[in-house]
Amino acid sequence: MQQVPDPSGSDVPAEAAALVSGAVANPDDSQDRAHQAGAVGAATALVSATDSAASARSALPGVLVDVPVGVLVIDQRAGTVVYANTAAVELAGNVSLPVAIDEWGTSAGLTDLSGQPLESTGSPLSVVAEGTPVAGEAVRLGPRGQREELTLWVTGFPLSQDAEDEQLALVVFLQIDGARGDADPDARMQALRDRAVLATDICFTITDPRREDDPLVWVNPSFTRVTGYTAEESVGRNCRFLQGPATDRAKVAEIGRALDQRQVVTETLLNYRKDGTAFWNQLSISPVFDGSGELVSFVGVQTDVTERVRVEGERAAAFAAEQTARREAEVAQAVAEQARADAETAREDAEVAQNRLALMAEATSSLTATLDRTELLDRLADLCVPLLADWIFVTVVDAYGTVEETAGRHRDGLADELRAISAQHAMHLTPGSPSRQAMERRQPVLIEQMTSDRLDDVFAHSVTRAAYDRLGGHAVLAVPMIARRRVLGSLALVLTDDERGFTTEDTELVQDLARRAAMALDNVRLYQAEHEVAETLQRSLLPELPEIAGVQAAAHYVSASTAADVGGDFYDLLELPDGAIGVAIGDVVGHDVAAAAAMGHLRGLLRACMWDATDPDPGSVLGRVDRLVQGLHVASMATMAYVRAVPPAGEGQPWQLVVADAGHPPLLLRYPDGRVEVLSQAHGLLVGVDGATRRTSVHLEVPAGTTLVGYTDGLIEQPGADLDEGIAALVQRLVDAPADALPVDVCARAVDTALDRRDDIALIAVRFG
């Protein structure tokens, strides 16, 4: 078995280091021997005890307690097992610790391969306890209960330095039954290596503090899987690249102080994967020293504890809510302390208040989390059934009292009956309907007993009366939904159990819920109204591309605003009076309706300057637009690019392009063979910076079939990457498109995977010839 030199001077088995780090050192790996030594140092650093069994447990990071390989810690001086993890306890049963080494082996049923007890043949546990590393030895584990006989691979080595008061050693058991049939030693070692890799989902890293900035020198495969960074992307960098905007800087500073003082430190940080997603990372870092006491590396043990943090957070929030309610109940109980009956009433009142607060909190968070009216009504029905009623019917009306939409829910389903009431009753409410009466009176309507005569007044059709009978109901509470002095609808709650009834507290609770629901409904109404205005504004500001002989064009627009589908980005295509074709793309600072309005003014100025230009050169046109913008105060600042395309003089002749750019991302040319060129030679100041600047143009000749692509920066901006990387990614997407792709296909390729709604996106593609 291969031995990896240990910094302390002793030989420690590579497989043992691998069982702790999550990967077995491979003699063929390109990693140097120093990194292998660091891995073994990591194993040594994982255990440093000061108090027998208690220190053995504290020395192993908590994340190692439940790994699926058996781990023992041995007190060398006493010759006893002082710690066993969960997997080791399963081997020997619940043996009281500390226990003599041979006694533990007997309890576990360990023998050599010939079946002789280990205590009579020289136990590898005893060898390790004497301070001698065990590179690897196969032993047998006798059957127990449902467990069959197993073959285990035992590795072990001392953990403590000679100068320390306590002498501890680590022993690891790994099942190798699946690999023992391989005749090829390399295949058997590979199988063992694979088992070691799969034995834990824990991430391990090693850094070298002797190098500048303490860079990573080794990471295991689990690190790559959890973070998304490959070993090549990680090694050589300080692991702070996992940090992000929400990482706790105080905890980072605390880790830094511990490392400066060469102390073991454990913290839980919010880190970020390569794809930008956040995760909670439990991190334990231990220093590793060589035989002379020199710091040679730091070992990091990491695990993704996102789910645990989430659960703990929810538990803490629930506990805080419970504590608040309990304090309220205790105050109420203290006031009525003189009489036990009063105290009991106060406790019951406090519990009711707590339930009401919980329902209102859930209602607020649930109803305000959506701007879709149908989904909002469904959520409202779910809140009421079965907690407040056996079934419910929600009615929404417009400004004239006409029913617009309904929703219902029954604790037993009965969807067909609810649809029947919705189709034939809710849309034509009778004067006797509790819902209609509640909306007209703007007050709750309570019917404690729905008699046959009352039902005849409520339902005008036999079909809906039969549907109600199948749904059941004896008591009805109808409450209006009012927001901003307007009636938006009503809630009709029905009880089917004759022994239940609506109390005054129930009515107050439903009124409170109806007010919250009405406010959420009105917010949806306002949002939809604003959305309709925004859509109208967008249609008026963004042109429909004209049909021009000799060219094909397509465009795409997406707004970053969540409230309105408009923004400051624009595009334009014109056939000019002299037969040339004008193509423009621009971006006004801002992402809202105000930016869209400024964009409309700016696009109008640009179109006028393009159409009626004494000097048609794009540089001159943009210069004139700049002067008008500053003189008329149309927009604070904007970028734009303008291309004047002159058709070929004859068949087979190229198109003449003249390009000017005012601080806009460079345009792209996609040639007929699929090659893409970045027009970086055209550049200039933003519009609105200096009206006196002289703008220049770039002249190009392109063959027929060439596609011009203009875009705004929302298409190329990505978190953590510069614009050059975004442009390169866009170019690659266009290169990957089919050579004969039409402009609409080019637009589809360009926006593929790029829409994260962080910024507006405008895109135009024009194919010449």
Q: Look at 345 and 33; give whichever has higher pLDDT.
A: 345
Average pLDDT over every residue of 251-258: 93
Beta bridge partners of 495: 475
Mean pLDDT is lowest, of 244-253, 435-444, 584-593, 660-669, for 584-593
Please report the pLDDT score of residue 265 as a whole number. 86
Is residue 640 within 8 A of residue 664, CB to CB? The reply is yes
Determine the residue type at 293.
G
632 versus 163: the higher-pLDDT residue is: 632
What's the pLDDT at 252? Answer: 94
Tell me the average pLDDT across 27-53: 36
pLDDT at 19: 36
Q: Rounded mean pLDDT of 644-648?
A: 95
Q: What is the pLDDT of residue 253?
A: 94
pLDDT at residue 40, rounded to an integer: 37
The more confident residue out of 744 and 299 is 744
**pLDDT band, residue 629 (cuts 50/70/90):** confident
Place of tokens 């963004």: 542
CA distances from 497 to 384, 456, 469 (A): 16, 21, 13
Q: Decide: 166 and 52 in contact? Cβ < 8 Å.
A: yes
- Between strands 569-575 and 110-111, the pairing is unpaired
> What 3-state class would DSSP assign to 26?
coil
Q: Is residue 179 predicted with pLDDT exceeding 60?
A: no
Q: Residue 743: in which H helix or E strand, if any?
A: helix 743-751
Kindly tell me if the per-residue pLDDT of 769 is higher than 80: yes
Mean pLDDT of the region 444-448 = 91
**Mean of per-residue pLDDT scores for the chain:** 79
Q: DSSP string spanning 97-110?
A: SSEEHHHHHHHHTE
Residue 710 has pLDDT above 60, yes or no: yes
- E-only strand ranges, 484-579: 486-495, 551-558, 569-575
Maximum mean pLDDT: which of 212-216, 280-284, 470-474, 598-602:
212-216
pLDDT value at 16 more than 80 = no
Least confident span in 6-15, 61-70, 181-190, 589-598: 6-15
**pLDDT (0 to 100) of residue 494:** 93
Chain centroid offset of residue 62 CA: 26
Least confident segment among 71-85, 436-450, 645-659: 71-85
Instruction: Reply yes or no on whether the pLDDT at 469 is more than 90.
Output: no
Confidence (pLDDT) at 12: 34
Closest CA to 72 of 109, 144, 20: 20
- The predicted pLDDT at position 177 comes to 60
Please give the average per-residue pLDDT across 274-302, as a whole number. 81
Average pLDDT for 245-260: 93
759, pLDDT greater than 70: no
* Weakest-pLDDT range from 195-199, 496-500, 644-648: 195-199
| pLDDT at site 36 | 36
563 vs 322, higher pLDDT: 322
| pLDDT at 730 (0 to 100) | 93
pLDDT of residue 32: 37
pLDDT tens digits, one per residue of 324-381: 878 887 887 777 777 676 667 667 666 766 777 777 778 788 888 888 888 888 888 8
Q: What is the mean pLDDT of residues 601-610?
A: 88
Q: Specify the pLDDT at position 527.
A: 81
Q: Evaluate if residue 50 carries a pLDDT over 70.
A: no
- For residue 116, pLDDT over 50 is answered with yes
Q: Of residues 21 and 524, which shows the higher confidence score? A: 524
Proportion of the chain above pLDDT 70, given as a percent: 78
Lowest mean pLDDT among 112-116, 317-321, 592-596: 592-596
H/E element, 467:
helix 462-471
Cis peptide before 666 (omega within 30 of 0): no
In the chain, the domains with their CATH numbers are 3-200 (3.30.450.20), 205-304 (3.30.450.20), 309-364 (no CATH), 372-531 (3.30.450.40), 542-768 (3.60.40.10)
| The pLDDT of residue 54 is above 70 | no
For residues 427-432, give the mean pLDDT: 80
Q: Is 449 exposed, middle or buried (0-12, 13-18, 19+ CB in 10 A)?
A: exposed
pLDDT at residue 761, as a whole number: 86
Write down the H helix ranges in 566-617: 593-611
Per-residue pLDDT, 454 = 84
> At 160, is the pLDDT very low, low, confident or very high (cuts 50, 70, 90)?
low
The residues, any chain, with a CB within 8 Å of residue 677's CB and separated by 6 or more, are 668, 669, 671
